[in-house]
Chain A
Amino acid sequence: MSTKYAYYPGCSLHSTGSEYDMSFKLVAKKLGIELEEVPGWVCCGTSPAHSSSHLLAVSLPIKNLALVEDTGHKEVAVPCAACYSRFKSALYEIDHDKKLAEDTKEIIGSSFHNKVKVMHPLEIFAKITSQELKDKVKETPKDMRVVCYYGCLLTRPPKVMQFDDVEYPMTMDKVLENTGYEVLDWSYKTDCCGATFSLTETDAVLNLCQKILKNAQEVGATAIAVACPLCHANLDTRQTDINTKYNTDYNIPIYYFTQLMGLAFGFNQKELGITKHLTPVPMYIGSGSE
Chain B
Amino acid sequence: MSTQTAIIPDAKFLKQIDKKIKVNANLCYQCRKCSAGCPMSYAMDYTPAQLIHAIRLGLKDLVINSKTMWMCSSCQTCTTRCPQEVDIAKIMDTVKIIAVSEGIKPPVSSVHIFNKAALRNIKWFGRMYELGLIGDLKLRTFEFFKDMGLGVKMFLKGKLKIIPSLSLNRTLTTFNIFSRVSKKEKAESNN
Contact = CB atoms under 8 A, between A and B. Distances in A.
A204 B75 contact: no
A176 to B, nearest CB: 24
Given A50-B74, A157-B79, A237-B150, A45 B130 contact: no
Most chain B CB within a 10 A radius of its CB, from A97, A201, A204: A201
Given A16-B159, A54-B21, A97-B22, A59 B127 contact: no
Main secondary structure of the interface of B (DSSP, over half): helix
A46 B100 CA distance: 18
A192 B77 CA distance: 9
A52 B128 CA distance: 16
Contact of B114 (A106, A158, A200, A208): A200
B178 interface: yes
Interface of B: 20-22, 39-40, 42-43, 71, 73-77, 79-80, 87, 89, 93-94, 96-97, 100, 108, 110-111, 113-116, 118-119, 122, 126-128, 130, 134, 137, 146-147, 150, 153-154, 157-161, 165, 167, 169-170, 173-174, 176-178, 180-181, 184-185
A46 to B, nearest CB: 7
A40 interface: yes
Contacts, number: 166
B185 A191 contact: no
Nearest to A241: B150
A78 B185 CA distance: 29
A60 B115 contact: no
Nearest to A161: B76
Contact of B174 (A43, A48, A276): A43
A197 B71 CA distance: 9
A160 B119 CA distance: 25
B113 to A, nearest CB: 8
B118 A46 contact: yes
A51 interface: yes
Contact of A201 (B111, B158, B184): B111
Contacts of B158: 18, 276
B160 A16 contact: yes
B22 to A, nearest CB: 7
Contacts of A195: 73-75
Given A97-B22, A152-B76, A278-B157, A107 B39 contact: no
Nearest to B42: A207
A192 B154 contact: no
A237 B154 contact: yes
A40 B168 CA distance: 10
Q: Could you say which of B108, B130, B150, B165 has the most chain A C-beta atoms within 10 Å of its C-beta?
A: B150
A212 B94 CA distance: 30
